[in-house]
Amino acid sequence: MHGRFEFENYTEDLFDDLALVCPPSVSTALPIRRAEFLAGRAMAQAALHALGLPAPEIPIGPDRAPLWPRESAGSITHARRYCACFAIADPSWQLGVDVETLASGHALESILSITANENERALIVRQTALPPNWLATLLFSAKETLFKALYPMVRRFFGFDCAELRTTPANGCLRLHLTQTLCQGLPKGQHFDIWFDIASDHVLTWLALRRFSNNQT
């Protein structure tokens, strides 16, 4: 489930109108950040309702990730005027979703220097399927989605260099390969197919995985 929200229509009263709580860590943020948080949580409640599930408050966990109801799994994302929620009525799944507006200028330079390694930058320039700035934005979004999906199993933060794009995306799918072993069950070389959709000024990526327990100490 994804959509667009108008920041100009945001007011603090909307939290009460939607029966949502603005947590202390968000209440002191800039208005645009509060609006993004509100839109994401409202989208999450709508997704749970669509699944026929109760839609309680979804608090922020100690690692900043949303704490989903026990009978569900999900992922929330927002960027500027866009937000999305990927949810399922089955806690045995782990989901990731990310939306990003098309990067240009300094934002594009930052993505290329921080997100992409030398091989990925060469591929972005060499391939002809997508304009380079679109593929760079898509790569950044796909790696964010992969992190969200894997983090509950890895249980530690890992960087953009842990996954690599080696081939040009096709048919709405981008394949990332792990460049190092993240934990038992996620070895170096394992690949993940990230689904994506490209709109006029933004990209949306998502991934669903069966969850497993990482018992490493």
190 and 180 Cβ atoms separated by less than 8 Å: no
pLDDT band at residue 138 using 50, 70 and 90 as cut-offs:
very high
What's the whole-number mean pLDDT along residues 28-51? 93
pLDDT, tens only, 143-186: 999 999 999 999 899 999 999 999 999 999 999 999 999 999 99
Position 146 scores a pLDDT of 98
Q: Indicate the SS3 state at residue 6.
A: coil
CA-to-CA distance for 58 and 200, rounded, in angstroms? 31
Asked whether the beta carbons of 87 and 47 are under 8 A apart, the reply is: yes
Per the annotation, where are the binding residues? 33, 41, 77-78, 98, 100, 144, 148
Measured distance CA(11)–CA(108) in Å, rounded: 32
Q: Which residues are annotated as a binding site for Mg(2+)?
A: 98, 100
Neighbours of 33 (CB within 10 A): 12
Question: What is the structure's pLDDT at 217?
Answer: 40
Section 18-30 average pLDDT: 91
Residue positions in the annotated binding site for CoA?
33, 41, 77-78, 98, 144, 148
Token look-up 């994302």 returns: 77
Q: What is residue 214's predicted lDDT score, i.e. its pLDDT?
A: 64
- Residue 85 makes CB contacts below 8 A (sequence gap 6+) with 1, 2, 40, 43, 44, 46, 47, 74, 75, 76, 77, 97
Reported confidence tier of residue 215, pLDDT bands at 50, 70, 90? low
The letter for the amino acid at 12 is E
The model carries a pTM of 0.92
Q: Find residue 83's DSSP bridge partners.
A: 3, 78
For residue range 57-99, list pLDDT tens digits in order: 898 988 888 999 999 999 999 988 899 999 999 999 999 999 9
